[in-house]
Structure 1
Amino acid sequence: METRPLRANCLNFSELLGQAVALISPTMTAALIIPVMFASTGNMSWLAYALGTLMLLFVAFNLNQFARRSAGVGSMYAYTCRGLGLTAGGIAGWSLIWAYLGIAMAGITGFSVFAGKLAEMAGVSMSPLAFFAICAVAAWYCAYKNVQLSAVLMLVLEGVSMLLIVGLCVIVLAQHHFVLDTSQLSLRDTPLSNMGLGVVVAIFSLVGFECATAFGTEAKNPLTSIPRAVIWSLIVSGVFFVFVTYVMVHGFTGYATTLDKVDAPLNVLAELAHVKFLQIPLSLGAMFTFFSLALSCMNAGARVIFAMGRHGLLPLITADAHAVNETPHVAVTIMAVLAFVVPSALSLVHTAELDIFSYVGTLAAFGFLVPYFLITIAAPVYLSRLGQLRKRDIACCGIALLLLLIPAVGSVYPVPGAPVVYFPYLFLAYLGVGATWIITFHRRVPAAGTRIRQELASTHEAYQPSGLETLKEG
């Protein structure tokens, strides 16, 4: 079966940045996650976000060792293949599919939460399943139809929502006469162990910054625009998190209900700031940003599936692009169907929407950690093969690995309650199935390794790595 390629050179830097920021989804954190952060770190919540951003910047620096030198479809799957071999790369790709799919489910569920709030304001009652379907179908259509349309739409929707939130924050600060909240600058009230938990929340709020690398074939000037999008998506989102968290904690000072007990903090903040009229546009902004989140994940996840399909690790039909739209339409459809079915099944057994959101988001976080670890290890190996490894590259790798241990350990200790306690085992079972399939595939089809290496070598390289042909299968 002959497969068609994706549309080339159609996404500029701002559109790549829009994809990455939409997947990080700053509005999601402001709308639902900051209260969770406050429960762990209290007045030091802003600092946890600052530390989390700094930590992931080290991972981004390792990732960009590849992004500055090569471009192609498949995100960290292809990069890990270059650094650690085909088996490790396949495991990274398999894990990324889980991660993007889980966050797409979170996006669909979050869309339903805020669409439901708006429906209640209008006196209308609708089933969550209807909102799941609306979000899934609309996101599928945009991803199926045109990647550039998807990117522009996400950039606009997330940008408008973030501007609304920043505007609300400025109003809150003005009503407090822009006086510095000194209680948030003291470290005495927050134990170090609690700060560790907060950093875990912060890092999980920021995952997805790497998704711009999935669009290497479709990006304009990919060797410059993709690395910039990776770094700037982290910086923009991190600064936004720090600022909004500081203002939200400041604005809730003296309120009868503490921030960690509130399920719609932006609406409450608008009421406290005497701008209740902003509640509807803020809820609209949150609803649309969750739609953008689902769309961004469908786009990124579909391209990982597309790349792995081209290499034979997944059915070849997933590696075909639409004849007219030049999008990975089969892979997009798979992502959309699964992202709809799982939340719907959980809803049918009477699982609350916020619980579904929490469960799928937690499960997705495991899927990001594996490729983050692998790409960090792969970077110095790759540079060594090129003869360009420096001491500071080794140091950057070591620091990133140490920092990644914080969310890795923090996600399983202290031991959470049921059903979350079983989530690591569920993910490990999924990873085990994928690893077994990938290892046996290369043993059953040894010629596939040669084809994969040839395709990796044929992708856009700033200069050809001297050792690329020595990629190992395991």
Structure 2
Amino acid sequence: MESNALRANCLSFSELLGQAVALISPTMTAALIIPVMFSNTANMSWLAYLLGTVMLLFVALNLNQFARRSAGVGSMYAYVSRGLGLTAGGIAGWCLVWAYLGIAMAGMTGFAVFAGKLAEMVGLSASPVVFFVICGAAAWYCAWKNVQLSAVLMLVLEGVSMLLIVGLCTLVLSQHHFAIDARQFSLSDTPLSSMGLGVVVAIFSLVGFECATAFGTEAKNPLKSIPRAVIWSLIVSGVFFVFVTYAMVDGFNGYSMTLDKIDAPLNVLAELAHVKFLQVPLSLGAMFTFFSLALSCINAGARVIFAMGRHGLFHASTAGSHSTNETPHVAISVMAAIAFIVPTVLTLLHNEPLDIFNWVGTLAAFGFLVPYFLITIAAPVYLARIGQLRRRDMGYCVAALLLLLIPAVGSVYPVPPAPVIYFPYLFVAYLLAGVVWIVSFHRRVPAARARIREEFAAMHEGYPLSSNPPLTEI
């Protein structure tokens, strides 16, 4: 049996924070992305993460103009619709589905990478597809069963993993007597163009902070807890990145290989710090955090599909919720199935999981940038419409737009090698298909516009019309 409502008032601030931090996945960055950052910015990598965090805080300030005033399911799909209209909102939701699917795939491939490493430690081997099955099935079940269970599980898994990494990095710094590493405060060896590329990596490491807004119907005290979760997920992750990057660069000083040439930096760092016994728990932590990443994306993406399905932009079945679990089980199943199928097919075509991880993560980044631009523009338009626009709000908008140009340009220039060079065209094709579909839908079903506007208007005080039946035109 199905209903049309999600479980209300069940997620606390800490659980929303856990969802957002799990989607940002600080452990993923420490395990796989910091070496990429070092290849661009070398000893100044910590500064690139600091700048990236500050940049996205401006985007978060614009996002929170909506989050403080309204709450409902659908994340930036609903917010952009209220600021720029239903077509722009539909495009934002369309892109978020792409983004969350890509990062869910990255979670599955990362899970397979570290599960494979753990298997090798005990002399076993298995196809990555086996690990995709385990990760995908477990993530689907948790998301299908209970959103609160998912949130608590992600909070615990990511929290434990981050504590392990912070402990290792603190040990490394203590063995260096907490001496200041002067090399990491000299800009002379890092050209400005390289710092720009580093900021691109930093911003892509931090995307996903907005996912707490997808749980407006299920959050406790959403007008306060959601904006706080958005800001604090960025601050917690940004501080973690700055600290861990600084410690890792310091820890690899004088090592036979540079940091950018190492594919398992945490394990090597544990060996250098003479705590090799930590390699197993660190790998376990990384494996579980990639599971949390996949689970968080399936949860967040399913809420966007659920909201758009209610309005007729996806099949009406996606707007159903489980009568007992009160989760968007059809949308969850769609997200989990696609997130499993794509990396499985690519693996069967003889691609390595780490390559697939890099490809799907890069593709997902395009999906985040479009909604970030749209929400930044939507915020002052919305505030002006309700008579609450201030000069500093325009400042937040201009600053965020200018700063977002850095990752937008940096993702396509300098021209990347194949196959990454073709990724922007693939995303543009997906985007254009979405624009055509959304515009044609609203032309074919003009009555839908009034109904959708009515539901969004009811969100203004944080009480969405969750009892309304979904539209069923498709």
TM-score greater than 0.5 by the shorter chain: yes
Mapped pair 1:202 → 2:202: yes
Equivalent residue of 1:193, what SS?
Answer: helix
1:66 partner letter: F
The corresponding residue for 2:74 is 74
Distance 1:157 1:398 in 2: 37
Name the counterpart of 1:146.
Answer: 146
Q: Residue 460 of structure 1: CA displacement?
A: 5.2
Alpha carbons 2:2, 2:321 under 8 Å: kept: no
1:20 matched to 2:20? The reply is yes
Cα deviation 1:309-348 (Å, max 9, x = unaligned)? 0011111100000010000000000000000000000000
Matched residues, percent identical? 80
- 1:313 corresponding residue in structure 2: 313
Where do 1:38-49 residues align within 5 Å? Answer: 38-49=38-49
User: In 2, are the aligned partners of 1:72 and 1:460 still within 8 Å (CA)?
Assistant: no
The offset of 1:177, in angstroms, is 0.8
- The corresponding residue for 2:467 is none
Distance 1:2 1:447 in 2: 25
What residue number does 1:417 align with? 417
Alignment of 1:219-298 (within 5 A): 219-298=219-298
Map residues 330-345 of structure 1 onto 2, 5 A cutoff: 330-345=330-345
Normalising by structure 2, report the TM-score: 0.97
Equivalent residue letter for 1:449: R
Corresponding residue number in structure 2 for 1:33: 33
Displacement after TM superposition at 1:27 (Å): 0.1
Matches of 2:203 and 2:397, distance apart in 1: 17
Q: Where in structure 2 are there 5+ consecutive unaligned residues? A: 465-474
- 4+ residue segments displaced more than 2 Å: none
SS of the equivalent of 1:459 reads helix
Query: Can you give the 5+ residue segments of structure 1 that lack an aligned partner in the other structure?
Result: 465-474
Contact 2:9–2:219 (CA under 8 A) maintained in structure 1: yes
SS at match of 1:218: coil
- How far the C-alpha of 1:44 sits from its partner, in A, is 0.2
Distance 1:460 1:389 in 2: 16
Distance 2:423 2:146 in 1: 35
1:222, 1:444 → 2: CA distance?
Answer: 35
Deviation at 1:147, TM superposition (A): 0.1
Matched, 1:394 2:394: yes
Question: Is the contact made by 1:43 and 1:183 (CA closer than 8 Å) also made in structure 2?
Answer: yes
Quote the Cα distance in structure 2 between the aligned partners of 1:183 and 1:283: 29
CA distance in 1, matches of 2:356, 2:449: 39
Q: How does the TM-score come out when normalised to structure 1?
A: 0.97
Q: Deviations over 1:262-310 (max 9, x none)?
A: 0000000000000000000000000000000000000000000000000
Structure 1 residues 172 and 374, CA gap change in structure 2 (3 angstroms): same
Name 1:132's counterpart in structure 2: 132
1:53-68 alignment, distance < 5 Å: 53-68=53-68
**In 2, Cα distance between equivalents of 1:4 and 1:370:** 29
CA contact (8 A) 1:145 1:327 kept: yes
CA contact (8 A) 2:20 2:210 kept: yes
**Partner letter of residue 107 of structure 1?**
G
Q: Secondary structure at the match of 2:17?
A: helix
Distance 1:460 1:67 in 2: 10
The aligned length equals 464
Does the 8 Å contact 2:72/2:459 carry over to 1? yes
Question: How far off its partner does 1:457 sit?
Answer: 1.4
Report the equivalent of 2:86. 86
Secondary structure in 2 aligned to 1:103?
A: helix
Q: How many Å separate the matches in 1 of 2:91 and 2:22?
A: 25
CA distance in 1, matches of 2:3, 2:456: 17
Residue 4 of structure 1 deviates from its aligned partner by: 1.7
For residue 188 of structure 1, give the secondary structure of its aligned residue in structure 2. helix
Cα distance between partner residues in 2 of 1:422 and 1:138: 33
- Summarize deviations over 1:43-88 as a string: whole Å, max 9, x none: 0000000000000000000000000000000000000000000000
Whether the aligned pair in 2 keeps the contact of 1:69 and 1:463 (CA below 8 Å) is: no
Deviations 1:94-131 (A, max 9, x none): 00000000000000000000000000001111110000
Q: Aligned AA for 2:303?
A: R
- Return the offset for 1:463: 10
